[in-house]
Chain A
Amino acid sequence: MIEFPNELEILITREFEAPIQLVFDVFTQEEHVRNTFAPFGEEMKVCSIDLRVGGDYHFVMVTDDGTEMSFRGTYLEVEPPTRSVQTWLFEGWPDAEAVETMDLHETDGVTTLAWKLAFKDQAGRDHMTKYDGLEANFDNVERYLRSLLVA
């Protein structure tokens, strides 16, 4: 489910049939992010994560027409397996700066994700709402988790 609680935020809630530690790892470990980040199967050119407060992450994907999309940020809170907060910057839109918050909790083997992107200004958020890869990323995670759990 996707919501726009105010003009600065995007909130996505998802449930995954997977244990919380695995869901946390899929969002925070390079080996997993490499397999799930690109919404339309774009090539992941860079995928580096330094998962600690003050550590940086950087993801670059290349679309099929050769455009590079670069996302980077710094971890502000790292509390495995329930929460991480990090700055979020998409380098294609200079104004689109945000703080990304991931909260997880598990009930009866189902892990609920509350993912929030809070932009500095409305222009940044409006950029992002025109971009249609937003939920595809979480669909990828859902599919990927299923493949891990079946294997």
Chain B
Amino acid sequence: MLAPVAALAQQIDRPQAPVLEKPPALKLPVIDRGSLPNGVTLQLVQQHELPLVQVTLVIAGGVKLDAAQPGLASFTTRMLTEGAGTRDANALQGELAFLGAQLFAMAGTDAFTVSLNVPKRSLADALDLLADVVLHPTFRSADVRRQRDLRLASILQRRDNANILAALAFNQIVFPEGHPYHRPADGDSATTAALDSTSVRRFYDQTFVPERAKFVVVGDVTAPEMRTLLSRRFSGWTRGATARTMAAVTAKPVDNASVKIFLVDKPGAAQSVLYLGAPGAERLSPDYPALMVMNTLLGGSFSSRLNANLRETKGYTYGISSRFTWAPLPGPFVISSGVRTGVTDSALVEIFKELALLRDVAVDATELERAKAYVALGVPQRLETNAQVAAQLVDLGAYGLPLTSLGDFVAKAGQVTAADVQRVARQRVPAGTATLVVVGDVAKIRAGIEALNLGTITVLDARHIAR
């Protein structure tokens, strides 16, 4: 029991929020480096608090390599864990469960990652499985067919979900045919139906190549130890087939001259899902810290302008947010929300009002400092677990940035000015040039949207968007 201290209670200056000490300086983990005899590099961060190891194999490539058959990259990656070496999928998953290990393979836009998370005591055994999955996937026809049918069913279900429809439509419009973001990473029903063991094997041979690979390891292990463990399993991994390359992306995202509106009908919908945006920005732009601060105060935090207005003042929505999709090939800038059907037009009025305000009027010092602090002080929370540290290394590595760039980011975010925010808002936040997708009950919302005279209106068919 704590002693009652009556006098103390009276000393509190309760009306005043406490003055906080200066936040602790950012402390970054130290990276050890090495390489395997076949040239595959290794970055390692030691974390000895828990007997755990996170091993991430990164292979440059990813979804952008499957332009000829959309969905092939993500499907091939999915098939890695459907049987490898002497084990079928059941034996593989059973063995992983027995070791207390988790193994995931994913195709990102610019890289494949195969991640293993395992207790230290099972590390060697689990690395055998990782090596099998990466080097000896079986791609049996029966397994390919079964996973293909499951994927076809999930493609069909895209039509049920207004958020998925809105995102698919938005990308199809903003990124033209020929741009890697035009089509869904998981493909469509036609490209998926064409998947077979031969096409998967060929794609794998041309993309899972050692000259594009690196290991990122975080956990209870040293670099020499890890180098020995990995060399034993991956040294025989040598160059085989000619690696597949991507033709330079010539298709440019669409910059509208005026607002373009696309409606997708969802009869009886209780809400309209809004996707409003434009082509995004380069991650390596010197404006990156300013863009992050600008986005934070527009729609990247709870007390951001969009959320404060549309949720907290007007009560139109459960939430509205905005974001840049950062990738080596820049993704879009998007504002998204689900709003009550009856206020779809009013919500759009408020969104465009906020966009204009951000572009036309300099932000005041209090709001600016809050956004800067929120952006800068959130960095340590992204470095708490082994997986988070590994994810940071993988993410920064995609741009050739060192871990110390996090410290530079914190410093630069602190220097962003109101003029910077206004400048990047004018460059990147669309007002008169936005692409707007609305998935909702068209019969109920169309007249209201037309009356706003925002721009041209086109109605799209959900069956075509999710085909």
Do A and B make up one complex? no
